[in-house]
């Protein structure tokens, strides 16, 4: 099954994606992870992307498209994939449709994890991330439970940056909801609940 995950930053898309990966073996393709890896490695793409990410802005389409299409060619995506954070606008969605068509593949669903803006600001501003492995935990956790690394607050998890990210999402990304609704692929789940409750509904919506 090939899935696009939709929802504002902090809606819980990554958490639901991970559960689907564990249970069904889909390849989880997170543009956030791909970009952060490029930034950490100091690649040409990473250096360009960092300036946008630090300001809470979206990375330009061309940079993201190149990363994602390359990733979709990997063997592990043949069992199915979950795109998390891409496409982020209708132009990217059209590009994705074209790329998949050339590969002889198609999308099965666009899953929207729906959460109110005020809930997201509270969630993200209290989140801390491991500098070494990327593990996330609530504020107050100073040492990473996974690898022992230092926990810190990412620049894009600070309240003022979060609001910028939500504004950008609303203006540029939310039209995707109507795009996929028009294609008959949209599935909507209420993400402001316990993770397992959300996941139960996700599986029902996707007929898994």
pLDDT digits (tens, 9 = 90+) for 48-76: 888 887 887 878 877 887 788 878 888 99
What is the model's pLDDT at position 140?
Answer: 84
| 62 a catalytic residue | no
User: Residue 121: its pLDDT value, please?
Assistant: 84
Q: Which of 48, 154, 158, 193 is catalytic?
A: 154
105 an active-site residue?
A: no
Of these ranges, 23-27, 65-69, 98-102, the one predicted with the greatest mean pLDDT is 23-27
Identify the CA nearest to 2 among candidates 77, 99, 114. 77
Give the active site residue among 13, 36, 50, 128. 13
State the pLDDT at residue 22.
Answer: 94
Distance CA 203, CA 141 (A): 32
User: CA 189 to CA 204: how far, in whole Å?
Assistant: 10
- pLDDT for res 147: 95
Active site residue 181: no
Average pLDDT for 76-100: 90
Please state, rounded to an integer, the average pLDDT across all residues of the chain: 88
Whether 88 is catalytic: yes
- CA–CA separation, 195 vs 12, rounded Å? 8
Predicted confidence at residue 173, as pLDDT, reads 76
Question: How many C-beta atoms surround the C-beta of residue 6 within 10 A?
Answer: 27
Q: What would the two tokens of residue 98 be?
A: 């074209």
The stretch 133-155 carries a mean pLDDT of 89
131 is catalytic: no
Domains of the chain: which residue ranges? 2-114+163-205
Residue 34's pLDDT is: 84
What is the pLDDT at residue 208? 92
Report, at the CATH architecture level, how domain 2-114+163-205 is classified. Answer: 3-Layer(aba) Sandwich (3.40)
Helix (H, G, I), strand (E, B) or coil at 39: helix
Which one from 127, 158, 164, 181 is the annotated catalytic residue? Answer: 127
> Please, which residues have CB within 8 angstroms of residue 86's CB and are 6 or more apart in sequence?
4, 29, 31, 64, 68, 92, 96
Instruction: Supply φ then ψ for residue 117, to 5 degrees.
Output: -60, -45
- 198 pLDDT above the threshold of 90: yes
The model scores a pTM over 0.85:
no
Select which of 36, 50, 71, 88 is catalytic. 88
- Which one is catalytic: 71, 123, 128, 165? 165
């Amino acid at each position: 099954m090939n899935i696009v995950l939709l929802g504002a930053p902090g809606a819980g898309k990554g958490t639901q994606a991970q559960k689907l990966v564990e249970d069904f073996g889909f390849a989880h393709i997170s543009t956030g992870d791909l970009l952060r890896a490029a930034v950490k490695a100091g690649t040409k793409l990473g250096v360009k992307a960092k300036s946008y990410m630090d300001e809470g802005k979206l990375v330009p389409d061309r940079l993201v498209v190149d990363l994602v299409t390359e990733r979709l060619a990997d063997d592990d995506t043949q069992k199915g994939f979950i795109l998390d954070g891409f496409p982020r606008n209708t132009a990217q969605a059209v590009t994705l449709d074209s790329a998949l068509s050339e590969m002889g593949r198609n999308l099965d669903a666009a899953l929207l994890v729906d959460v109110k803006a005020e809930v997201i600001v509270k969630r993200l501003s209290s989140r801390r991330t491991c500098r070494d492995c990327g593990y996330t935990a609530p504020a107050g956790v100073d040492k990473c439970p996974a690898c022992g690394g230092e926990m810190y607050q990412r620049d894009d998890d600070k309240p003022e940056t979060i609001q910028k990210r939500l504004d950008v999402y609303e203006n540029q990304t939310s039209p995707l909801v109507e795009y996929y609704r028009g294609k008959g692929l949209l599935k909507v789940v209420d993400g402001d609940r316990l993770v397992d409750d959300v996941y139960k509904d996700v599986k029902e919506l996707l007929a898994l």
